[in-house]
Structure formats: structure tokens, C-alpha cells
Amino acid sequence: MRIGTQVLGNELFVAPMAGVTDRPFRNLCKRFGAGLAVSEMVASNPALWGTPKSRRRTDHRGEAEPISVQIAGADPQAMADAARYQVEGGAQIVDINMGCPAKKVCNVAAGSALLRDEPLVARILEAVVKAVDTPVTLKIRTGWDPQNRNAVQVARIAEDSGVQLLAVHGRTRACGYGGAAEYDTIRDVKRATKLPVVANGDIRTPEQARRVLDYTGADGVMIGRAAQGRPWIFREIGHYLATGTRLRPPLVAEIRELLVAHIEELHQFYGREAGVKVARKHIAWYTRDLRGSTEFREGMNRLETGEDQLAAVGRYFDELAQQEPYLRDELEEVGA
């Protein structure tokens, strides 16, 4: 799959998620087969570029290429300046956020709030595309609310502006993350534009990925929440799309090794104290629905040191592996 001058290994994308898709997580998903992982969004306000949070979000040292950085804002000139700044910092693809439903983003007329102002959408896209030589991509929702789905119109604006790829989440801003994603609008967008289109929303299994691709005609799928605590989903989907068969789930021992390495990298990336706190949510995602996980997570949240955190994870997965070598819920999905 190609985005301008950048060639991807496949059609599997990691959705940008604030507080989740940091460099350790992006690299992990790429290792398991994601063709592209988009960074957490960075504000276009230059006063925020030097903050510790923004510096971490734009830290690409050792990151597997291609590097895609998402920018957010509502002023065309500020967005153009932000795009240039990110390219100077190593971004090879600039992604524009017009899909975030968060109130703090929409309240400043950014994210999915922009979908209410198509002329402003056009001015922002044109300004950013002209500002950089790297490919520009766009992430949107289907519209502001179910009565105002305008993704097709925005897609045409994006194509005319020189955007290279469009990702569409199958919900409106008003829907948040509730209810079920709908794919009719994504199919309409694909039929209405020549742009590569990536479908996003409620894709949790390889079978769902196949169905969404077939139904919408999309060129790729973007995985968000389903990858939290389960980065191997990209390996599973890639295998299924290529062969039509399911991989066996990972061994519990493999997950133990994976999670320990992930935690260690988080400690290093954020610093020991902050890294322990960030790791807690990832540990919760990795262990959700596993035997004894409720009690384990309650204990985990009381641990204050990295050493104690790693030791507790090791003990939990060692005990789990003695009871069953594979994840039981995923074995049931493949009919084993």
C-alpha cells in the first residue's frame, strides 16, 4: 500500500489514541505486523510544542518507519506551521485530526467539530498540503451527528486539496464510542473518491476485518481499542486476510514475555515513577477477562515501584501458564 512516496508493508493501521499510541506501543504494533501506526495527536499551538508531553509524543528515536504524526487545530496557518515543524522533527507523513470527539478538542472547534464547517476544512487541508513535501492524510468521522453525515462531501474536499489518504471512523461525533459503528457511509465515501480509504470502528477480529473490507471496498482497516492489550491482533488479521484461516492464539508464556518487555520500555520512556503509572492501564488491558485478573489488578494498582510491578506480572502469568498454555477466550474464538 502506498501513501504518496511512502510504501507500507500492508493495509493494517493503528489508530491514533491519546494516552495510548506512544512510541513503545507504536513499535510493538508494527512488530506484530501493522503497516502504519499514527502518533498521538499534537496540538498546533506552538506554545505547547515544548511541553514534556508534546516532546514525548514527538520522540521518534528508534521508531520503525514510516513515521506518521497527527496534528490537531482549527487555524489553517497554525496547522501549516505545525506540519512543517513536525516534518523538521522527523515526520514522514502528516495526519490531520478531524475525528476526535473529545469535548476539550471540539470546544476549541478542532477535531470532529471541524466537520460542521466545510469551507474551513478546505482551507486547513489546502494550507497543510502546500506547507510540506511529505504526504498528508486525514482522519474523520462520518459527520457531526446522524442527521448531518457529510463524510462524502469532506472526502471530495480532501481529494481536491491533495490529501493522499482518508481514514473514516464509522460513527458521528455525537455518537462518541457508543452504539455500533456503521459502514454504509464508509462504502459511500469509497465509491465517491479515488483516494485510498481506511475503515475504522468496531473491528475486533480477523473475520470482522474481512467483512468490513469486502462490504465497504476500503483499501485498509484501522484498529484502535481492539489493539489495547492485544497488539498481536495485527498478526492475526494479516494472517487471516492472506490465508482465510485463524492463527492459534499466543501462548501465555509469550504474552508474559511481551508484557514484561513492554512495561520495561514504558519505565524507560516515561521515567521510573511515571512509567509505573502509565504501565498500569496496559497491564489492565493485557489481563482483562483472564482468570483471577480482577484481584490481580486491584493489587497491581497499589504497587509503587517498577521492580514490584514486574515481579507481580511475572508471578501472575507464571501461575496462569501452569493452568493453561493458551488464552482460553481466544481458543474459543478459533474453535480449538
Catalytic residues: 100
> What are 173's three cell numbers?
461525533
CA 144/CA 258 separation, integer angstroms: 39
Q: Which amino acid belongs to residue 275?
A: G
Q: Is the dihedral of CA 309, 33, 183, 101 positive or negative?
A: positive
The three-state DSSP-derived secondary structure of the chain is CEECCEECCCCEEECCCCCCCCHHHHHHHHHCCCCEEECCCEECCHHHCCCHHHHHHCCCCCCCCCCEEEEECCCHHHHHHHHHHHHHCCCCEEEEEECCCCHHHHCCCCHHHHHHCHHHHHHHHHHHHHHCCCCEEEEEECECCCCCECHHHHHHHHHHHCCCEEEEECCCCCCCCCCCCCCHHHHHHHHHCCCCEEEECCCCCHHHHHHHHHHHCCCEEEECHHHCCCCCHHHHHHHHHHHCCCCCCCEHHHHHHHHHHHHHHHHHHHCHHHHHHHHHHHHHHHHCCCCCHHHHHHHHCCCCCHHHHHHHHHHHHHHHHHHCCECHHHHHHHCC
Q: What angle do CA 22, 209, 183 make, to 5 degrees?
A: 100
